[in-house]
Amino acid sequence: MPQSTSRRRNEFIDGPIDSYCAAHSTGPDELQIDLQRVTREKTGEAAGMQVGDDQALLMEILVRAMGATRAIEIGTFTGFSALAIAKGLGPNGHLLCCDVNEEWTNIAREAWNDAGVSERIELRIGPALDTLRALPVGVQFDFAFIDADKPGYPNYYDEILPRLRPGGLVLLDNTLQGGRVIGAEKASEEVSAIRSLNDFIVNDARVRVVQLPLGDGLSCVQKL
């Protein structure tokens, strides 16, 4: 397995330390590197939405360590984070991916086929809130990853938490919003939504949460 050549997105970690961590972390495999390249070629600047190598690997490791078999992702794009989750789930796992964009998720479908994980991934195209509200109400997930439109996060969290098993994890991406969550000044709709959700989660008696300065901020929430 190659070591990472660092395709990381850590806005808050000192460069040399980040490079050192990259050099001492397992790197992406050939298919993951290929998906990063195809995403850059076909989506241009939007490729910046992909999670970093380290975050993808962290999710893969967590999912595998939990023995998770049922997962959901809100915000799939070209399938890079979903591929990592699916690898962690193993052959008997099921990952429900939610996105609105056919063009981007067609790239994802190809990559999942090439990686031999498409059997364990179900993609639903449409607003994620509609998809979530159409799901049965009972517990049905071990792991969830939220990485879509920021104003939607509070609703996604509300819908997912009751469907998560005790001990299960919800990871939320971009919870530092480039640092703009700090301070009380007037903020964009995105920043305001994430600020109030961060405040809500840390006081939510149903969970334990650790917010990591990885990428643009990654909140790892465990349901009690």
Q: Find the shortest distance in angstroms from Cβ 129 to ligand SAM.
A: 7
Shortest approach of ligand SAM to residue 108 CB, angstroms?
Answer: 8
As a whole number of Å, the end-to-end CA separation of the chain is 36
Residue among 45 and 184 whose Cβ is closer to ligand SAM: 45
CB-nearer residue toward ligand SAM: 40 or 185: 40
- Identify which of residues 48 and 183 has a Cβ nearer to ligand SAM in the complex: 48
> Whose Cβ is closer to ligand SAM: residue 145's or residue 195's?
145
Which helix H or strand E contains 164, and what residues bound it?
Answer: strand 164-173
Least gap, CB of 67 to ligand SAM (angstroms): 23
Query: Which positions touch ligand SAM (CB under 6 A)?
Result: 49-51, 75-78, 80-81, 98-101, 104, 127-128, 147-149, 152
At residue 41, what are phi and psi to the nearest 5 degrees?
A: -65, -40
* Least distance between ligand SAM and beta carbon 104 (Å): 5
Q: What is the DSSP letter of 21?
A: H
Smaller CB distance to ligand SAM: residue 80 or 164?
80
Q: Residue 93 or residue 215: which is nearer to ligand SAM going by CB?
A: 215
DSSP of 92-123: T-EEEEEES-HHHHHHHHHHHHHHT-GGGEEE
Give the shortest CB-73-to-ligand SAM separation in angstroms. Answer: 7
Minimum distance, C-beta of residue 149 to ligand SAM, in the bound complex (Å):
4
Do 151 and 190 contact (CB within 8 A), yes or no? yes
Residue 214, Cβ density class (10 Å: 0-12 exposed, 13-18 middle, ≥19 buried)? buried
Kindly give the interhelix angle for 30-43 and 80-89, rounded to the nearest 10 degrees: 160
Residue 63's Cβ-side half-sphere holds a number of Cα atoms within 13 Å equal to: 32
